[in-house]
Amino acid sequence: MDRNQASRRAAALVAQMTVEEAASQLRFDAPAIHRLGIPAYNWWSEGLHGVARAGTATVFPQAIALGAAFDPALVEQVGRAVGLEARAKYNEASRQEDRDIYKGLTIWSPNVNLFRDPRWGRGHETYGEDPCLISRLGVAFIRGLQGDGEYLLTAACAKHFAVHSGPEGMRHYFDAQASLKDMWETYLPAFEACVKEGRVESVMGAYNRTNGQPCCAHSYLMEEVLRGQWGFEGHYVSDCWAIRDFHENHKITHRPEQSVTLALDRGCDLNCGCTYQRILDAYREGLLSEETIRRSARRLFTTRFLLGMFDQTDYDRIPYETVECPEHLELSRRAARESMVLLKNNGILPLDKTRLKTIGVIGPNADSRKALVGNYHGTASRYITVLEGIQDYVGQDARVLYSQGCHLYLDREEPLAQPDDRLSEAVTVAEHSDVVILCLGLDETLEGEEGDTGNSYASGDKPDISLPASQLRLLEAVQRTGKPFILCLMTGSAMDLTYAHRHAAAILQLWYPGAQGGREAARILFGQVSPSGKLPVTFYRDLSELPDFTDYQMTGRTYRYLTKEPLYPFGYGLTYSPCAVTALASEGPAFPELARQDLTLTVRARNQGAMATEEVLQIYVHVRGTEDETPNPRLAAFLRIRLEPGREDTFTIRVPASAFLTVDSQGVRSLRGTGADIYAGFGQPDRRTAQLLGRDCLRVTI
């Protein structure tokens, strides 16, 4: 069904409603209108990396891990799997007249905010710190969720619009100040791609204000940009209870009726929260017009018609057995394999289980299910932790000793014990082992959404980028034993790894790798597969260069504006078989024509090792002759490739014309400058990446 047809049907249905009935449909928990054959519908469903909060579902790696895979095709398949499972669960719930929260087809994902500061607790819900990466993966996930059939498989939602990435503890009253240059260069590109390329069906407004106006009633963002410049035709939803913040926290209105009026007038069609229960009060006071109410109702029912909720569709026959089916479980495992990033390896990896008698597995995340799943997750029928994955992999070939080592963040595990009550056991395990797998990190109780899980840090943000003190003591104690250890880090954000970099034999970043991620970690550790993930965020040495958390200027933030050398750069990651770009050539127009025509690159790459591996070919662009360019080259295109040992292959990669445009102080994106440098490699064209990989990118100039 095309949008015009769905819109006409929605208009005809809404015309039959009383104003009271139409107003009731603008709440996330919309009641039934029995006389018109409209069942109740709860709009709030989650599917960030699997159907969430609705019972059993395939639990894929967290979004930041999907970002580390640098694989749009994979992300689209994950989105498709989430959509199919949501349909399967919706079909059965509807058959049983279960219209509860989290059981619908309007999936409030993906989160395409930019991860600008490693302290932000919700950063692991995003795909990373780069607009190009976020855009490509966001569009891919949306296409997977929404499908390509006659009807929408599910309705995706790009959130949180816009200029939103913490602090969590201040979000209900915070005003993010961003220049037009930063908005159009950094904060808006992913949303633009989701709307114009992904045709996303809904957009969610953020809690905060941006440049003085609340994001759920923003004249510039919502009216001028979203519906005006970008031509968005779907519906707009508030973040949960964000409209209540208008009068309670932002203080831009005085009472709920004024907040309702402001939000609806600006085009916020759906309220996650309770404030739209006051719509009729605002209407009766003469603050809110009937047409404004009906306009939002028409948009919402257009979405419901596009989903086929009032028709028989092929999707009605998707069986419940689709949930956690073998194909989806294997896809989750593949995503975990592609996402893990090898940060350091002194040659100890891959391990050979036939040469090891005893393996020590130590750490609070070694046997933690929470550390597998991140936040906004579903429930798996089976979990495989890192400990279990290693035990299963080595079988009877080696003895596996285990110690939790410490509490995740408290100074003791048992309340009546003395501090560090698990530390001596961890030292014993290390001393009795040939090699130690040390599993440290965080989980959703230490980084997440404000108020979401009873976070130990209250807001969900991290106070700094250090591991909890209990884990640092464990790390130092294991190091002092002199036994070689491999750090497996399970976090959703960049941490301070300077001590680990000096002392660990190897470091493997696992992120939150999904319900069976421990199986894939073991396969990488023991060399059944080569690691191939790349960092979607910069790992800083410390926070000294970063501006204050509340400063939304991009100066000094992320790899594009960095002046200090990082510990591990964006785009970096090792494999077991080193690869190199051996030749680079460009085909296409001269620089002045690049505003209208894409550029094609031909890249030759060689696997210089003895093991088949996947790699991520990365293209960076830096425009010469204009002060509007970012300080450092920026990602323009990327391609996941596979190279057999000793093999050299040729690849073509398209660099979009938009990659050569720069943004001026007024937010205008256009072609400027005298030419461009184009870099191709398996990481950034920066000194630190070259030092870590032992090779530079190749460059062509146009």
User: pLDDT tens digits for 520-577?
Assistant: 999 999 999 999 999 999 999 999 879 999 999 999 999 999 999 999 999 999 999 9
Q: How far is CA 127 from CA 66, 73, 318, 449, in A?
A: 7, 14, 29, 16
CA-based nearest residue to 542, from 498, 586, 582, 505: 498
Strands (E) located in 448-496: 485-490
- String of b and e for 2-23 (b: at least 16 CB within 10 Å)? ebeebbebbeebbeebeeebbb
pLDDT tens, position by position, 216-247: 999 999 999 999 999 999 999 999 999 999 99
Q: How confident is the model at residue 589 (pLDDT cuts 50, 70, 90)?
A: confident
Please choose, from the candidates 541, 80, 530, the residue with its C-alpha nearest in 3D space to the C-alpha of residue 337.
530
What average pLDDT does the segment 574-600 reach?
Answer: 92
Q: Please state, in angstroms and as integers, the Cα–Cα distance from residue 303 to each residue in 23, 152, 542, following that order.
A: 17, 9, 46
Condensed to tens digits (0 to 9), the pLDDT of residues 194-221 reads: 999 999 999 999 999 999 999 999 999 9
Question: Predicted confidence band at 254 (pLDDT cuts at 50, 70, 90)?
Answer: very high
In this structure, what are the phi and psi dihedrals at residue 115, rounded to the nearest 5 degrees?
-80, 85
Give the list of residues 6+ apart from residue 145 with CB closer than 8 angstroms, or none.
47, 79, 80, 82, 83, 107, 109, 153, 154, 155, 156
Q: Count of CB atoms within 10 A of residue 687's CB?
A: 11
Per-residue pLDDT band for 601 (boundaries 50, 70, 90) equals: very high
Q: Which helix (H) or strand (E) holds 677?
A: strand 675-681
User: CA torsion, points 666, 667, 670, 676, in degrees to nearest 10?
Assistant: 100
Nearest alpha carbon to residue 365 among 474, 227, 453: 474
What are the residue numbers of the active site? 239
pLDDT tens digit string along 84-99?
A: 999 999 999 999 999 9
45, HSE (Cβ side, Cα atoms, 13 Å): 28
3-state secondary structure of 292: helix
pLDDT of residue 451: 77
Check: CB of residue 363 under 8 Å from CB of residue 439: yes
Tokens of 203: 């957009």
pLDDT tens string 43-93: 999 999 999 999 999 999 999 999 999 999 999 999 999 999 999 999 999
Q: Would you tell me how many other CB atoms lie within 10 Å of the CB of residue 664?
A: 16
Check whether the bond before 162 is cis (ω within 30° of 0): yes
Closest CA to 132 of 203, 64, 189: 189
Strand segments, DSSP code E, in 346-415 are 358-362, 399-403
- Contact between 493 and 64 (Cβ < 8 Å): yes
Give this prediction's pTM.
0.98
CA dihedral (105, 382, 441, 137) positive or negative? negative
- Whether 36 shows a pLDDT value over 90: the answer reads yes
Q: How confident is the model at residue 459 (pLDDT cuts 50, 70, 90)?
A: confident
Domains of the chain: 3-314 (3.20.20.300), 326-561 (3.40.50.1700), 579-701 (2.60.40.10)
- d(C-alpha 224, C-alpha 231), whole Å: 10
* Segment (H or E) for 135: helix 131-146
Q: Contact at 8 Å (CB) between 188 and 225? A: yes
Residue 614 above 70 pLDDT? yes
How large is the average pLDDT for residues 372-383? Answer: 97
Q: Is the pLDDT confidence value at 625 over 90?
A: yes
- Nearest to residue 406, comparing CAs of 348, 465, 469? 469
Q: Tell me the percentage of the chain whose pLDDT exceeds 70.
A: 99
Contacts 24+ apart (CB under 8 A), 556-563: 557/116, 557/117, 557/129, 558/114, 558/116, 558/129, 558/130, 559/129, 559/130, 559/632, 559/684, 559/686, 560/130, 560/630, 560/631, 560/632, 560/634, 561/630, 561/631, 561/632, 562/538, 562/631, 562/632, 563/631
pLDDT band for position 590 (cuts 50, 70, 90)? confident
Number of neighbouring beta carbons within 10 Å of residue 646: 12
**pLDDT tens digit string along 646-678?**
999 999 999 999 999 999 999 999 999 999 999
Q: What is the mean pLDDT of the chain?
A: 97
Rounded Cα distance, 194 and 623, in Å: 25
pLDDT over 60 (residue 457): no
147-183 tens-digit pLDDT:
999 999 999 999 999 999 999 999 999 999 999 999 9
Q: Region 395-415: what's the mean pLDDT?
A: 97
By the 10 Å C-beta count (0-12 exposed, 13-18 middle, 19+ buried), 346 is classed as: exposed
Helix, coil or strand: residue 138: helix
Q: How far apart are CA 89 and CA 83, in angstroms?
A: 10
